[in-house]
Amino acid sequence: MYIKFSSVIAKKNERWHSDGIVYPKPTWLGEELLAKLAKWSVENKKSDFKSTLSLISVMKYSKAYQELKEKYKEMVKVWPEVTDPEKFVYEDVAIAAYLLILWEEERAERGLTARQSFVDLGCGNGLLVHILNSEGHPGRGIDVRRRKIWDMYGPQTQLEEDAITPNDKTLFPDVDWLIGNHSDELTPWIPVIAARSSYNCRFFVLPCCFFDFIGKYSRRQSKKTQYREYLDFIKEVGFTCGFHVDEDCLRIPSTKRVCLIGRSRTYPPSREASVDEKRTQYIKSRRGCPVSPTGRELCPSPLRVAPGSAGHCDGHQALDARVGCVAGAWAAERGAGPQAEGAWLPGFHPREKAERVRNCAALPRGFIDQVVLQVANLLLGGKQLNTGSSRNGSLKTWNGGESLSLAEVASELDTETLRRLKRECGGLQTLLRNSHQVFRVVNGRVHIRDWREETLWETKQPEGKQRVLSEACKTRLCWFFMHHPDGCALSADCCPFAHGPAELRPSRTTPRKKIP
């Protein structure tokens, strides 16, 4: 028997800028790479997906990505959104690099000189639009809700705040490409809009959340993963709309990285009317209604909604609050909002303009404090919690409590509390995760957080991160000092939170910079 030992040594280099795409993060190299290599070496399984970057030149892509990354990496430092700047900036840089090479090769193949125009439907933060505009492609982004970062782009970045409803008024006859980058409820409609905009209009979609033409996508084949089945559905939509649909796998820091591309048609322009009739029949059939030969819907049918389908979203789904947290699905499922006149399929509603906060952040502070105290009391074995300030706890006697499953905690809460939590994205689990100072939620179990362990972890962080952590100290009261029966396990000078109002410091805010 031969036993081989392997190790990974990551040498510090000034040019090494971890992005999760070309340069992996050191933690991934140390904690995941070797395990994955061992797994891959013994696997004999055919992948359900195409190889990465199979439709374009990898050499051209790598060069374009490095240039764009260097050009736009400063945006990570000024990112004003609540989302992870490294993930979203480098992901959109990678998608932009892919599109730029795809379009460059298309121009060479077709003998074109003018750069392709585009419209990004559901553009979100608008960064992809900003990069493509900056690189010389005329186009614009449309989203139902304006983002804070929009104000930081220059005037060359064309972004519009508007709702997209698939109908005869929502067409783009003068546009070369339609883009759907995590476009949620618009994803299955983008091939349809492209097909009906003009014969020369193409599309690029990067599916993430699982939506049908109305409401959430309902899974039908248990032999496939839900992701693979949804990709096949979008390919089917594209083919029914008359496109040759290509599939490729992007090099981005995301589990949902398969894109679908419609670059050419399966029929000549003379057959447009007959193909469009097939599109109409197919779209109506997805709602489960019989269709007459003229394309008129004969009977209404309730929406099909896949239970427990959470999609690509923030937050977590608790065991006691089985609700999906895909933004926009609420309006579609409940029939809320105005119905667009002349819609291609009655019942479609764009997401609400004002994003509904459903991550427990909008719950009354008193209600949250009450649940936190109740759960902490359960974990501490019913020992009475303090309602005022307390002394520092002893390291030897400090009660760290036990761990309970989310289901066990939920069983101890009253009906009204559970009802209010079920209306939130992720319910009880999200509320406990939001209460980071007090709890740890790991593998579905709830623990009291021991800040002695957290302090030890912080000392191992890089100097820059330690500085950020230290600057954030003392801006909130220490929950354990105020409520734990043994007080805080840390002394006042070691605790990152204030032991009483006298220690509170004002929070620091970083001024926003204009993005060039």
CB atoms within 10 A of CB 41: 7
Q: Average of pLDDT values for 373-396?
A: 67
Q: Which residue has the higher pLDDT, 48 or 205?
A: 205
Residue 227: burial class (beta carbons within 10 Å; 0-12, 13-18, 19+):
middle
Nearest to 95 by CA among 173, 183, 170: 183
b/e map 279-297, b = 16+ CB within 10 Å: bbebbbebbeeebeeeeee
Name the range with the highest mean pLDDT among 26-35, 242-251, 312-321, 490-499.
Answer: 242-251
The answer to whether residue 97 scores a pLDDT higher than 50 is yes
How many residues does the structure list for the chain? 516
Kindly report the three-state secondary structure assignment for every residue of 153-185. CCCCCCEEECCCCCECCCCCCCCCEEEEECCHH
The answer to whether residue 237 scores a pLDDT higher than 70 is yes
The answer to whether residue 304 scores a pLDDT higher than 70 is no
Q: Residues 184, 124: contact at Cβ < 8 Å? A: no
Q: What is the pLDDT of residue 244?
A: 98
Q: Residues 247, 231: contact at Cβ < 8 Å? A: yes
Q: Average of pLDDT values for 501-506?
A: 86
> DSSP readout, 66-129?
HHHHHHHGGGGGG--SSS-HHHHHHHHHHHHHHHHHHHHHHHHHHT--SPPPEEEET-TT-HHH
Between 29-43, 88-102, 139-153, the lowest mean confidence (pLDDT) is in 29-43
Distance from C-alpha of 122 to C-alpha of 349, rounded to nearest angstrom: 14
Beta partners for 440? 447
Q: How confident is the model at residue 291 (pLDDT cuts 50, 70, 90)?
A: very low
What digits encode the pLDDT tens for the residues 338-371?
444 567 988 887 776 665 666 787 789 999 999 9
Q: Tell whether domain 58-285 is in CATH 3.30.70.100.
A: no
The answer to whether residue 54 scores a pLDDT higher than 60 is yes
Q: How confident is the model at residue 443 (pLDDT cuts 50, 70, 90)?
A: confident
pTM recorded for the entire structure: 0.61
Q: Average of pLDDT values for 146-172?
A: 93
3-state helix, strand, coil in the chain (%, to 5): 35, 10, 55
Q: Which residue has the higher pLDDT, 312 or 455?
A: 455
Whether the CA torsion 413, 415, 421, 426 is positive or negative: it is positive
What digits encode the pLDDT tens for the residues 102-137?
999 999 999 999 999 999 999 999 999 999 999 999
Non-local CB neighbours of 321 within 8 Å, separated by 6+ positions: 418, 421, 422, 424, 426, 427, 428, 429
- Give CATH 3.40.50.150 domain extents, the chain: 58-285
The answer to whether residue 150 scores a pLDDT higher than 80 is yes
Nearest to 162 by CA among 181, 138, 182, 186: 186
